[in-house]
Amino acid sequence: MIELRSIWKWVGLGIFTLVCIFLLSNVRYLFMSVHPDQIRVSLGPDMTAEKLAGVLPGSKVVDPKIALLAVPYGKAQEYALTAMTTRGVYRASTIPLDHPVISWRYYASQVQNQTTGLLHGDFGTFRSPTNLKEMRVIDAIPDMLLRTCTYFIPGLLMAIVLSIVLALAASLWRGFGKVIDGVHVLLLGLPDFLLIVLIQLGAVYVTRALGHYVLLVVQVGDKTPFLIPFLAIALIPTVTIYGALRVAMARELGQDYVITALAKGLTRREVLMGHVLRNVMEDLLVILPKATTLALASMAVAEAICGILGLGGFIISPAVQSISTISIICMTLAILAMLFHVIYALLHKRVVIRTREAG
Query: What confidence category does residue 322 fall into, taking pLDDT thresholds of 50, 70 and 90?
Result: low
- Domain assignment present for residue 132? The answer is no
Over range 304-324, report the average pLDDT: 66
Q: Please indicate, yes or no, whether residues 183 and 155 belong to a single structural domain of this protein.
A: yes
φ, ψ for residue 98 (rounded to 5)? Answer: -65, -35
The pLDDT, as a whole number, for residue 227 is 76
Whole-prediction pTM value?
0.75
Q: Please indicate, yes or no, whether residues 73 and 199 belong to a single structural domain of this protein.
A: no
Query: What confidence category does residue 355 fall into, taking pLDDT thresholds of 50, 70 and 90?
Result: very low
Q: Please indicate, yes or no, whether residues 118 and 143 belong to a single structural domain of this protein.
A: no
Q: Please indicate, yes or no, whether residues 265 and 290 belong to a single structural domain of this protein.
A: yes
Q: Please indicate, yes or no, whether residues 117 and 180 belong to a single structural domain of this protein.
A: no
Lowest mean pLDDT among 71-85, 93-107, 136-150, 314-328: 314-328
Query: What confidence category does residue 160 fall into, taking pLDDT thresholds of 50, 70 and 90?
Result: very high
Q: Please indicate, yes or no, whether residues 32 and 110 belong to a single structural domain of this protein.
A: yes
DSSP state of 223: B
- Domain assignment present for residue 339? The answer is yes
Q: Please indicate, yes or no, whether residues 158 and 89 belong to a single structural domain of this protein.
A: no
Neighbours of 37 (CB within 10 A): 20
The pLDDT, as a whole number, for residue 276 is 86
Digit-coded pLDDT (tens) for 188-235: 777 766 776 776 677 666 656 655 444 555 555 556 667 778 887 888
The boundaries of the domain holding residue 146 are: 138-351
Q: Please indicate, yes or no, whether residues 68 and 181 belong to a single structural domain of this protein.
A: no
**Listed residues 70, 98, 122: the one ending a domain:** 122
Q: Alpha-carbon distance 347 to 342, whole Å?
A: 9
* b/e per residue 297-319 (b: at least 16 CB within 10 A): bbbbbbbbbbbbbbbbbbbebee
Over range 93-107, report the average pLDDT: 89
Q: Alpha-carbon distance 81 to 64, whole Å?
A: 20
Q: Please indicate, yes or no, whether residues 63 and 202 belong to a single structural domain of this protein.
A: no
Number of folded domains that form the chain: 2
Q: Please indicate, yes or no, whether residues 173 and 109 belong to a single structural domain of this protein.
A: no
Digit-coded pLDDT (tens) for 329-354: 888 888 888 899 888 888 887 776 55
The pLDDT, as a whole number, for residue 267 is 83
Nearest Cα to 43, choosing from 93, 77, 100, 3?
93
Three-state DSSP class for residue 255: coil
Over range 64-85, report the average pLDDT: 86
Task: Inform me whether the pLDDT recorded for 122 exceeds 60.
Answer: yes
CATH assignment of the domain containing 150: 1.10.3720.10
Digit-coded pLDDT (tens) for 50-62: 888 888 888 888 8
Q: Alpha-carbon distance 70 to 37, whole Å?
A: 6
Query: What confidence category does residue 358 fall into, taking pLDDT thresholds of 50, 70 and 90?
Result: very low
